Amino acid sequence: CKREVIRRFPLAIQHLYTMNVTRYSNAITTVQTIFDSLKNGFKEYINENAKWMVDEETKNIAREKIDKLTAAIGYATIASDDASLDNYYEKFFVNNDLHLENAYHYHNFHRWSLSNSLQNPNILDHWDYFETRTSRLFDYIALFNRLFVIASGMHEPLVNSEWPWPVNMGSIGVLLAQKLFASIDGPDGRTHLPNGTRYDWWQSPTIIGYNNSRNCITDYYVRDLKTLTYNINGAEIQIPLAGEPFSPTTLRHIGALRFAYNTLMKSNDIKSFKMPGTNFTSQQTFFLAYAQTQCYQREELLQLIRTQLGVYDERTALNAALIHMPEFAQAFQCQSKENQCFD
C-alpha cells in the first residue's frame, strides 16, 4: 500500500511536507541563494581553475550550460494547493477491495495525465518527470538542464536558514555543487547540450585532460589505498580496490568541493569569521559541515557487495577527495598530498 501511494500520488506526498508548514519558505530562500552563488562560482571555476578542460570550444558550451541552468526548489506549485490537487486527482478512482479495477483506473488516469502534460506543459514544471527518478532529495536532469531540490531534503542536517553561511555552504551547498558539476561531467551532462539536445560536446583535448586526472585517482585507490576491510560475522575480509569504476565520482567530489569552497571564500568577512562558541575558522567549518553530510552506517555485508561493484562508502570517498585538496590541508595546517590529480 505504501509503495503504491508513493508511486501513484507523488504530488500528494509532496503536499505532506508543505501542508501547514511555513518554515520551508525560509529554507527555499536560503537554498535559492546558495544555488545562485554556486552558479556564479561554477562559472569562475571553469574560467580560472579547470585546467583539465583544455579547449575553448568545450569551455564555451560548459559556460552556456551554466548560464542556462535553472532550478526548481521546494515543490511543484500544485502540491501546495488543496483545490489544485483535488482537481488533478479527480479522475483517479480507488476502491478498497478491487485491486484489478484500481489498476485499470490508474492506467486511465496515467493516460490522461500524460495527455494533460502535453497540452499544458507548464502545469507541473517538470516535477512529474523528477518524481520518476531514484533520488528523492535532489537531482540534475540534463534533458531540461535543471536542478531539482525537493522540500523533504531542506531541513537539518542539510540546511537551516539560521545557520552561519559556512555551515550551509559546506553541507547542502557542496551536495548541490556535485549536482551542478554533473551538468558538465556526468554521463548525461556531458552528452546533452544546454537546450537538451543529445550530443557529446567534449572535445578531444578535454577528454585527454580528464582521463589523465581519472588515471591519477585510480592509481591512488589501487596503489595507495589498495584495500578496504569489512567485518563479516567476526571474520576480517579485505576487498582489493579497482579504483576505475569510482574515479569519476571522486573527481566530481573534488571539483564540487573546490568551487563551493572558492564561492564561500569570495567574501572577505567570511575569511576572518570564526564559528560562535568554537575556535573553528570558516574554512574549517566548511569542511566539517561537508563531512557530517557523509556520515552513513550500512551493514558491513551490504557495503562489501557495493565495494565489489565499484561503489565505495562515503567515508572512503570523503577522505579521497579531501586528501587531494590543498585547501583542506591549508585549513587544518596539515601535510598536503604532492599530486592533487584534479584542478
Give φ, ψ of 47 to 5 degrees.
-70, -35
Written as one letter, the residue type at 250 is T
DSSP string across 150-177: EGGGSSTTT--TTS-HHHHIIIIIHHHH
Give the tens place of pLDDT for each residue, 103-133: 888 888 888 877 877 787 666 666 666 555 5
**What is the reported pTM?**
0.84
Matching residue, cell 567485518: 231
Residues sharing a CB contact under 8 Å with residue 268, sequence separation 6 or more, in sequence order: none
Matching residue, cell 531540461: 144
- The pLDDT value recorded for residue 138 is 81
Q: How many CA atoms lie within 13 Å of 32's alpha carbon, on the beta-carbon side?
A: 10
The listed CATH number (3.10.20.600, 2.60.40.10, 3.40.50.12660, 3.40.390.10) that belongs to domain 39-69+155-332: 3.40.390.10
Q: How many CA atoms lie within 13 Å of 106's alpha carbon, on the beta-carbon side?
A: 13
Q: In order along the chain (343 residues), what is the average pLDDT of each group of 10 residues? A: 68 65 70 94 94 96 96 77 81 79 83 79 65 66 87 79 91 94 94 95 97 95 94 93 90 96 82 74 93 86 92 91 94 88 89
C-alpha cell at 343: 584542478
Matching residue, cell 501542508: 19
Q: How many CA atoms lie within 13 Å of 226's alpha carbon, on the beta-carbon side?
A: 3
Strands 227-232, 235-240: pairing kind = antiparallel
Q: Where are the domains of the chain?
A: 39-69+155-332
- The pLDDT value recorded for residue 279 is 83
Going through 22-107 in order, the beta strands assigned E by DSSP cover 70-74
The pLDDT mean for the chain works out to 86
- The pLDDT value recorded for residue 322 is 94
Matching residue, cell 485499470: 104
- The pLDDT value recorded for residue 216 is 95
Q: E strand or H helix at 131, and its extent?
A: none
C-alpha cell at 287: 569542511
Complete edge-to-edge strand list for the sheet that includes strand 70-74:
70-74, 146-150, 138-141
| Residue 118 to residue 125: CA distance in whole angstroms | 12
